[in-house]
Amino acid sequence: MDFRTLIKTYYSSILIFFCLLAFTLFAYSTVETSAKARRERLFEQRVQRVTETIKNRVSDYTQILKGCQSLFYASDSVTYENWKTYIENLNLNVNYPGIQAVAYAAWVPKEEVRLLEAKLRERLNANFTVKSDFQQTHLAPIIYIEPFTGRNLRAFGYDMYSEVKRREAMHRAMTTGQPALTRRVTLVQETHEDVQPGFLLYLPVYANQKSVKTAEDRVRNLRGFVYNPFRARDLMGSVLSNFKDIQVEIYDGNHFAEENLLYASGPNLYAIEEKRRANVEFTSDTTIYTAGTQWRVFASSSETFGSSIERDQPVLVLIVGLAITSLMVIISVNFVRNRKRVLHELMLSREIEKKKDEFIGIASHELKTPLTSIKAYIQLLDRADLRESDRIFVRKANVQIKKLNNLISDLLNVSKIQAGKLQFNIGSFSVKDLVEDSVESVQHLYSSHKIILTSAPLESTVEGDKFRLEQALTNLLVNAIKYSPGNYNVYVSTRIEKGCVVIEVKDEGIGISERSQRHIFEKFYRAEGLSPALSGLGMGLYISNEIIRRHHGKIVVKSAPEKGSVFSIYLPLSSPNPSGGA
């Protein structure tokens, strides 16, 4: 089968395939778009929660520092014990996880540092030394730090004001009186292991808090700083522990650069690595302003972001759609193949039927010629001087020839009907003549039965082919006799009914079942279960029906098994000429 034939044969399957495929793709893209939009909304909400959580945490720590600040405002001399008790009460590890320490740095002029050291050594009964480069006029050494253990001990005595980033934030805090975050630093608490970026949150403590109005007042009255140092990874890890479905990167300041990175929840730095970013479904870039500094938060969706149902839904739609498409295509291809096969078989049976008709036509024609010669020879023989005993054989031969002749004419007629070549010679004649002539010829042949005219035949004139109509009526009469083997009367009547001449032939014979009645006018049909003595080929009613039909009339049968049959020919009174072929 070439390509064009293939397309022509299976165009419906191809159409189904493309329509369903288009529908599937459309459904897939719709579901995919709406699922993506839902995931995007979800992502935006999650990022918003992240930034809010971070801000809230910074504000929580500011509150802690405010508490510490109040401690100093409540007393002129806050001892280390006061401090320790106060911080222990806060229960930092439970209430504020991620905080490295809460500490206090005293604000001391350079020349008073030694005095401070001596005082503290005495008060704490421990070795206390200020660690500073002594470059500034003032120092801010850490004198209280809690918890006073582990890596925090490294910070004890450290002068934060000597380091530039810390100094910048401390200056901001002291001049504004507001909390101030440093830029990214490395805490002095860090050892050589697991070094993390860090930052500090400062709140100034003034000597005379009520009289500080201007920046100068504040600098003049500065007493120290309460502050929190943070290890960024520890802090953010605890703050963002509920956001595993998105990766968060926090950068100090406004630039995505590794040296600014405070925290990254995963191994990849999507904000910096453009190439990797292309594989990420959603990203978000937000800036947080808090405690006088700026953090840039870059969030990206992880591979597991969004519920699995949300993510799998479009693929599911695609799979189901493709499965339905394939199924429908298979069904339609099978349907086309079956239809092709049925059509082929139909064509084949029509072809056989045609061949059969052709054969009947040729055979009947070929039989007719020798039969005519036989008939002529018998006639010659009949005229010869024969003994009476021999003449009986000639008469018997004549009867058989007549039967054979009828059979061949029937076959010829069937063949002509099939070919649409049944000829009609139209003329006017009376119903009476038609009926009487037919009855007479049949009665002459079949003396076994009596054909009774139950009413005087109508005198009405009809138009048509008298020979053909006689042929039809004769066939009904012969059948009435043939199929009434034990009954000897056949009744014929005529009447006018609704503009038609009705010629009725009634017998009291074997009758016809309802099922057979539906088929008796078909070519070569014979009722089932007929006695073998009732010979025939099932052509008579087919030819008769065709003749009457072509005269625009009809044959109606009423019968029941063993109840006899009534065949009625309906012929229109004002019959137009017989119509053309079947």
Q: From the CB of 512, what's the least distance to ligand ADP, in Å?
A: 5
| Matching residue, tokens 């078989």 | 345
Phi, psi of 560 (to 5 degrees): -150, 150
Helix, coil or strand: residue 561:
coil
CB of 503: closest distance to ligand ADP in angstroms?
14
Q: Output the smallest distance, CB 402 to ligand ADP, in A.
A: 16
Nearer to ligand ADP, 196 or 475 (CB): 475
Nearer to ligand ADP, 100 or 475 (CB): 475
Structure tokens at 101: 């320490």
Query: Is 186 in a helix, a strand, or coil?
Result: coil
Query: What is the three-state SS of 199-220?
Result: EEEEEEEECCHHHCCCHHHHHH
* Tokens at 296, concatenated: 């840039």
Nearer to ligand ADP, 462 or 541 (CB): 541
Tokens representing residue 405 in the block: 């002749």
The minimum distance between CB 424 and ligand ADP, in angstroms, equals 20
Q: Under the rule (CB under 6 A), what is the footprint of ligand ADP?
A: 475, 479-480, 483, 507, 509-512, 520, 525-527, 530, 536-542, 565
Q: Report whether 253 contacts 270 (CB < 8 A).
A: no
How many other C-beta atoms can be found within 10 angstroms of the C-beta atom of residue 357? 16
> How many angstroms separate the Cα of 247 from the Cα of each of 242, 282, 309?
11, 11, 21
Looking at residue 180, the DSSP 8-state letter turns out to be E
Q: Judged by CB, which is closer to ligand ADP: 233, or 523? A: 523
Q: 121 or 518, CB closer to ligand ADP?
A: 518
Q: Residue 537 Cβ, how far from ligand ADP at the closest point, in Å?
A: 5
CB of 540 to ligand ADP, least distance (A): 3
Cβ 437 to ligand ADP shortest distance, Å: 20
**Distant-in-sequence, close-in-space partners of 395: CB < 8 Å, separation ≥ 6:** none
CB-based contact 194:234 (threshold 8 Å) = no
Whichever of 253 and 536 has its CB closer to ligand ADP, that residue is 536
Q: Is the peptide bond before 147 cis (omega within 30 degrees of 0)?
A: yes
Residue 286 phi/psi, 5° resolution?
A: -125, 150
- Pick the closer one to ligand ADP by CB: 293 or 413: 413
What are the Cα distances from residue 430, in Å, to 122, 395, 434, 451, 494?
Answer: 158, 34, 6, 20, 12
CB of 520 to ligand ADP, least distance (A): 4
- Nearest approach, Cβ of 481 to ligand ADP (angstroms)? 8
Inter-residue contact 110 to 194 (CB < 8 Å):
no
Smallest gap from Cβ 441 to ligand ADP, in A, equals: 17
Considering the complex, what minimum distance in angstroms separates the CB of residue 403 from ligand ADP? Answer: 12
Q: What is the 3-state secondary structure (H, E, C) of 433-465?
A: HHHHHHHHHHHHHCCCCEEEECCCCCCCEEEEC
Residue 491: in which H helix or E strand, if any? strand 489-497
Minimum separation from the CB atom of position 470 to ligand ADP (A): 15
Closer residue to ligand ADP in complex, CB, 485/572: 485
Pick the closer one to ligand ADP by CB: 24 or 474. 474
Structure tokens at 272: 């910096």
Q: Among all residues, whose Cβ is closest to ligand ADP?
A: 536
Toward ligand ADP, which CB reaches closer, 161 or 521?
A: 521
CB of 492 to ligand ADP, least distance (A): 13
Instruction: Kindly tell me the burial class for residue 168, based on how many C-beta atoms sit within 10 Å of its own C-beta (0-12, 13-18, 19 or more).
Output: middle
DSSP code, position 259: G
- Cβ nearer to ligand ADP, comparing 163 with 410: 410
Residue whose CB is less far from ligand ADP, 69 or 474: 474
Two tokens, residue 334: 């099978």
Instruction: Please give the structure tokens belonging to residue 259.
Output: 């040296």
Residue (84 or 526) nearer to ligand ADP, CB: 526
Q: How far apart are CA 395 and CA 382, in angstroms?
A: 8
Neighbour order of strands in the sheet with 261-264: 261-264, 246-252, 293-301, 283-290
- Beta-sheet pairing, 554-559 with 565-572: antiparallel
Shortest Cβ distance from residue 568 to ligand ADP (Å)? 12
* Helix 11-74 / helix 308-383 crossing angle, nearest 10 deg: 170
Q: What is the dihedral of CA 346, 350, 356, 362, to 10 degrees?
A: -160
Query: Residue 299 or residue 505: which is nearer to ligand ADP going by CB?
Result: 505
First to last CA, the chain: 38
